[in-house]
A and B are shown apart, each in its own frame.
Chain A
Amino acid sequence: MKKTKENPLAIVVAGIRLKNPVMTASGTFGYGSEFMPYTDLSKLGGIVVKGLSLKPRQGNPSPRIVETPCGMLNAIGLQNVGVEAFITDKLPKLKGVDTAVVANIFGETVDEYIEVAKRLDDTEGVSALEINISCPNVKKGGIVFGTDPFEAARVVSAVKKATRLPVITKLSPNVTDIRVMAKAVEDAGTDAVSLINTITGMVIDIEKRRPVLATSTGGLSGPAIRPIAVRMVWQVSQAVRVPIIGMGGIMSAKDALEFIIAGASAVQVGTANFVDPDISVKVVSGIAEYVERHGTTVKDLVGSLTTG
């Protein structure tokens, strides 16, 4: 690509400059550096790291995962190294990688969200915060904030005050009307929304008559949820003005383009990274091929859906 010509894949989302619209989803890409042996991180639009809390978290009992038709359930329990270890041990490994690094954060109280956000605010190498208000796994955590528009707004406005970084709010699909949640966090000042997080599900071992997961329920991800996610992105795009980052079951450029055409300015690839650690880069090349074939740009494709 010549310097003089504008990069047709580039997109700005909530002030974050992405060289292409493909990011990796939180919890499916570790802290990024784990994928260096398998893929070229500098080819990605962005990396969203594993959800960070103030203190390290040990996570849920095992079994934590189970495969389902075209998907999987997980109940990891937000195990992570904590924000401090992220800054000192993990983030430096991404130095020199030419991609946007987004820190996904969560807390059990509004104060904890604020603390984590503050700690990351003056950290070099972090382009934005993604607030996880939607994790369905932890009894005390995400679920309260993510399903109550008032609580969600409270977290978002608190985090906004605590940071100068762009704030992306990640929405839970486990609500009656996701537009209500999107609207609430938009009003609270979020710079963008990302969706969807996992959908609560359950698998039962009929021989033992017990749930397969130690926590009984878990979050469903993978291609099985994609049509639901596309529908929700489309609905939210009609309800809010802030940019949308779409995800849920993306396995290919075709899948990613569905989200973009439905109204997402960028996408995140999640579970697919487990199947093929280089898949996100393949999604980038697929989008590049499509954009060239259609003589268009990603920017022009966003929300280009015609209905009726």
Chain B
Amino acid sequence: MQEQRVEILYNEPVSSRYFRLGLKWKTSVIVPGHFVMLRVSDGLDPLLRRPFGVYKVLNAKGRDKLKGDGIELIYQVVGKGTGILSGKTPGEVLSVLGPLGNGFPVPHPSQDIVMIAGGMGIVPLYLFASTIKRGSLLFGARGKAQTLVAKDFKALGLKVRFATEDGSLGHKGYVTDLLSGAITPGTIVYACGPAPMLKKAAEICAKEGAQCYVSLERAMACGIGVCLGCAVKASAHNERENKNYVMVCSDGPVFESALIDWDRI
């Protein structure tokens, strides 16, 4: 949990809009689900750091808590910050705050595991899958680049089922269409992706009686729980510690889905 200046090992396009970013990272232990806040330039615009999940720990040692030589992030170029990031070259140095957040809870050995990802939601789930090495993945892949990432999943020996809106790969429709058929009341579901997908996944899991953990995204300023900007409404029956709102950065980003008010997401 520190601000550090780290060297870029590689910053390679997976496709025109997706990049793999390798950073030298020897210091701290990473738990799957952790994220980091990157400062993409020393200038004033963009001003704030950008949050990114950790995709891989390079040469990782450890089981649920990983230490290695570096970390790999995967990012999609969507705006100014990620645009600047995509122009960075190996050897350049970035200011990184992290690792931050709580990470995914470790499942019980007897539990069936289903991971469900939409788009860049694949990032933290891959690191998670690579540590637990079991379970199956339902992947709502939007473009070709995303399916490339799924190769890494398959290399882990895990079953992957795809859904695409245009039917170009796997199921034609939403990835959540595949969920109810994949779970039983004993299943533990880990979900990361766009809010509507998570909402749907939470609903299905509640209906089937499966446990469900979601990793949320919210615009962030500080990443360390002090600006109170990344608030998400907590569900009424689960206002823990009298909290009406939970902070994605410091209470999460991973939440038990019952904790979230999905009507106000």
Contact = CB atoms under 8 A, between A and B. Distances in A.
Interface of A: 27-30, 34-35, 37-38, 50, 56, 58-67, 69-72, 74, 76, 79, 222-223, 251, 271, 273-278
Contacts of A67: 46-48, 219, 221
A72 to B, nearest CB: 6
Given A65-B221, A71-B47, A276 B228 contact: no
Interface stretch (B123-131, B199-207, B229-237): B229-237
B178 to A, nearest CB: 29
Contacts of A66: 219
A130 B242 CA distance: 27
Contact of B222 (A56, A58, A273): A273
A28 B39 contact: no
B45 A70 contact: yes
Contacts of B182: none
A298 to B, nearest CB: 25
B84 interface: no
Interface in B1-39: 1-3, 39
Contacts of A50: 226
Interface in B41-64: 44-49
B47 A30 contact: no
Interface in B236-255: 242-245
B244 A58 contact: yes
Contact of A65 (B1, B219, B226): B219
B95 interface: yes
Contacts of B228: 27, 59, 64, 76, 79
A37 B1 contact: yes
B1 A56 contact: no
B45 A69 contact: yes
Contacts of A27: 227-228
Given A274-B227, A275-B39, A62 B97 contact: no
Given A273-B222, A274-B222, A278-B3, A59 B47 contact: no
Q: Is the interface of A mostly helix, strand, loop or mixed?
A: loop
B154 to A, nearest CB: 36
18 contacts: A34-B224, A37-B2, A59-B231, A59-B244, A61-B233, A62-B218, A62-B245, A66-B219, A72-B221, A74-B227, A76-B227, A76-B228, A79-B228, A274-B221, A274-B227, A275-B47, A276-B95, A277-B97
Contacts of A271: 47, 221
Nearest to A56: B242
Contacts of B243: 58
Interface of B: 1-3, 39, 44-49, 95, 97, 218-233, 242-245, 264
Nearest to B46: A67
A34 B95 contact: no
Contacts of A64: 228-231
A250 to B, nearest CB: 12
Contacts of B95: 276
A21 to B, nearest CB: 22
B98 to A, nearest CB: 11
Nearest to A39: B3
A34 B250 CA distance: 11
A276 B219 contact: no
Contacts of A59: 228, 231, 244-245
B5 to A, nearest CB: 11
Contacts of A34: 224-226
Given A29-B226, A30-B226, A65-B221, A275 B48 contact: yes
A90 to B, nearest CB: 12
Contacts of A63: 218-219
Contacts of B2: 37-38
Most buried by A among B220, B228, B233: B228
Contacts of A277: 3, 97, 222, 224
Contacts of B222: 273-274, 277
B165 to A, nearest CB: 19
A58 B48 contact: no
A222 B47 contact: yes
Given A38-B3, A67-B47, 20 more contacts: A34-B224, A34-B226, A62-B218, A62-B230, A62-B264, A63-B218, A64-B230, A67-B219, A70-B44, A70-B47, A74-B227, A74-B229, A251-B44, A271-B221, A273-B222, A274-B49, A274-B226, A274-B227, A277-B3, A277-B224
A60 to B, nearest CB: 8
Contacts of B47: 67, 70-72, 222-223, 271, 275
Contacts of A223: 44, 47
A277 B225 CA distance: 12
Instruction: Pick the 7 closest A-B CB pairs, nearest first.
Output: A65-B229, A30-B226, A58-B244, A274-B222, A274-B221, A70-B44, A76-B228
A76 B47 CA distance: 19
A164 B243 CA distance: 33
A71 B229 CA distance: 14
